[in-house]
Amino acid sequence: MSRRFAFIQAADVADYSWMMAQDESATIALVHELRDRLLEPIVERHEGEVLKRMGDGWIIAYPSVASSVLAALEVQNGLAEHPKTRLRMGIHMGDIVHDEADLYGAGVNIACRLQTEAPPGGVLISADVYNQLSSKQTQGFSDAGTFKLKNIPRPIQCFQWRPERLAVGSRPDEVPTIGVEKLVAAPADDENAAAAEDLHEQIVYGLSRRTGIKVRDMSVGSAEKTTYNLRGRFRRSGARARVNLSLVLLDDASTVWADVFEGDATDLFAFCDEVAAQVDAKLRLFVNSLDNNRIGEIPDENLSVSELRTRAAGLFYECTIPDLERCISVMDRAKRLNPKDGMSLSMWAIGVVMRSKLRFEAIEGDRLEELVAAHDLAVELMPQSDFVFFTRCLFRSITERNPDKVMSDAKRCYELSPNYPQAHIALGYAYILAEEFGKAVAAMRKGTELRNDPYWSYRRLHMAVAQYCGEDYEGTIATLREMIDLKPSVRGFRKLLILSLKALGRDAEAQKEEEAAALLDDGENFFVQEPTVPDSHSWLREALAPGSGKGSCQKDSD
């Protein structure tokens, strides 16, 4: 067994399995051509040593940081014009332990993990490697953010490079940085200052959990340039307190987000906890859109797995059927690039589930088995992610409809993030299936407090369904009236409104709504998807489905 220090480069052919399935002999020929005419001659020229070949991949050791990076860039520039072949390359440094059987060492593991996160045609290097390069050698590399890699205990800050030809359509591609300034307290007494400091720390912590951004605590000083600064003022008068927050784009001093939070501050720290929860939920939606700007119009095939997730998130929040279809396609590619990326699996799965829900189609056969496997693997890979538990909860609520299993996922989602709106929606699904409709309504109401959520109307319909199932017809009508006022063209909202009016014997009003509904399109609508209902109200799924007419379908006993 031998040990040595080296700069370790991992490379593999993107989409290799898919290419092999399409044309095995042609793919093998491409890999041989890549190996013999480009990659390994360049490796040799830069004094690299191929330690391991894996069919579609290589692990290579270099004696210096410059040789490892320059070789990678030369290979990728040489492939930039190739119509079919793309490599992903990752570089880290560390000891290599080598015996007759295999290679070992944390540096090898990290380099391989970085390779899976690199964009096709590009190079991803760790900060340890980046910091040893000269300023000239770092040209073209941009901050790619921090990555939490499988089986690696600490997050790894990374820098990314791709050939100019493959970056066409991109915008400035540094990961946006948010600096959280110290909150100004007024009056500036000890109690208010302590509360403002507590709130500041909670905001920093909440933002630090988000991906696609970097966070700087400006209260302890930072010389690093930030993209945005979050500024705020904490004011208290008697038993009332108010927090004003604004997010400022430093390039032009424009305010891109602002909000005011106020309430009873008799228990000052309870007030701060509530404000921190609201800020975290609202900024989560805003932050999801920030990273999408960086990748611009780069084609999907040139994006890394994390960039594909970013693009899919942007499409997901457009709330249209074509964008949902595109979202599924984007995540299908991410899943091909890394079949064991838990977030990609979960995002792909929720897209497929939602597509079936808006078509009111049953999920059966091979597709059902595929989705069960994807959700279960995502949960196994990411047991600390609130999103993956919410996604499986939604899936189970319309397939198995087992209240205990749905509640198990909902509770886990809530335990991970009590302030996550979807955690309350998940609890609502579980309570509906358990026919605890009052609790379902309360949970759904909590989950739809954020009016700036693009999915507000979609989620609010579930609350209206829970009210209807609980025979709170007046409440159902009030909820639907508010939704129709915002989206008057959605016929599905009026279908449930008509049912509620008829349940109260308000037939004249129901007739007017039927006349209004008849003028609207009765096709698929993004905001009306198959509802989660108990077996006692299964007929509601048919009543709200596209093409169900006036919405007068009733349970058999009516």
What pLDDT score does 291 carry? Answer: 60
Report whether 35 contacts 78 (CB < 8 A): no
Query: Rounded CA gap, 14 and 34, in Å?
Result: 13
Query: Rounded CA gap, 278 and 347, in Å?
Result: 24
What pLDDT score does 153 carry? Answer: 83
What pLDDT score does 556 carry? Answer: 45
What pLDDT score does 297 carry? Answer: 77
Query: Rounded CA gap, 254 and 227, in Å?
Result: 12
What pLDDT score does 100 carry? Answer: 73
DSSP 55: S
Residue 187, burial from CB neighbour count under 10 angstroms (0-12, 13-18, 19+) = exposed
- 462-558 CATH, one of 2.30.42, 3.40.50, 1.25.40, 1.20.1410: 1.25.40
Query: Which tens digit of pLDDT belongs to each residue from 492-509?
Result: 999 999 999 999 999 999
194 CB neighbour count, 10 Å cutoff: 14
Query: Rounded CA gap, 455 and 450, in Å?
Result: 10
> Does the structure show a pLDDT above 80 at 285?
no
Question: Where residue 541 falls among pLDDT bands split at 50, 70, 90?
Answer: very high
Q: Which two tokens stand for residue 341?
A: 């990326």
Give the residues across from 7 on adjacent strands: 62, 93
Q: Where are the domains of the chain?
A: 2-167, 177-287, 462-558
Q: Which two tokens stand for residue 168?
A: 């066409």
> Does the structure show a pLDDT above 70 at 168?
no
Report whether 554 contacts 540 (CB < 8 A): no
What pLDDT score does 494 carry? Answer: 97
Query: Over the chain, what is the mean pLDDT?
Result: 91
Query: Which tens digit of pLDDT belongs to each residue from 311-363?
Result: 998 899 899 999 999 999 999 999 999 999 999 999 999 999 999 999 999 99
Residue 114, burial from CB neighbour count under 10 angstroms (0-12, 13-18, 19+) = buried
Q: What pairing do the DSSP bridges indicate for beta strands 254-264 and 184-186?
A: unpaired
Residues present in the chain in total: 558
The fraction of the chain above a pLDDT of 70, given in percent, is 95
- Whose CA is closest to 44, among 57, 29, 63? 63
Do the domains 177-287 and 2-167 match in fold?
no
> Does the structure show a pLDDT above 90 at 176?
no
CATH 1.10.3720.10, applies to 177-287: no
Region 195-221: mean pLDDT is: 87
- The DSSP code sequence of 511-548 is HHHHHHHTTS--S-BTTB-PPP--GGGTHHHHHHSTT-
Query: Which tens digit of pLDDT belongs to each residue from 20-44?
Result: 999 999 999 999 999 999 999 999 9
> Does the structure show a pLDDT above 60 at 169?
no
Query: Which tens digit of pLDDT belongs to each residue from 362-413?
Result: 999 999 999 999 999 999 999 999 999 999 999 999 999 999 999 999 999 9
Query: What SS3 class is residue 352?
Result: helix
The superfamily CATH assigns to domain 2-167 is Nucleotide cyclase, GGDEF domain (3.30.70.1230)
Give the residues across from 61 on adjacent strands: 8, 49
Q: Which two tokens stand for residue 35?
A: 């190996």
Question: Where residue 256 falls among pLDDT bands split at 50, 70, 90?
Answer: confident
Question: Where residue 552 falls among pLDDT bands split at 50, 70, 90?
Answer: very low
Q: What pairing do the DSSP bridges indicate for beta strands 177-180 and 214-217?
A: parallel
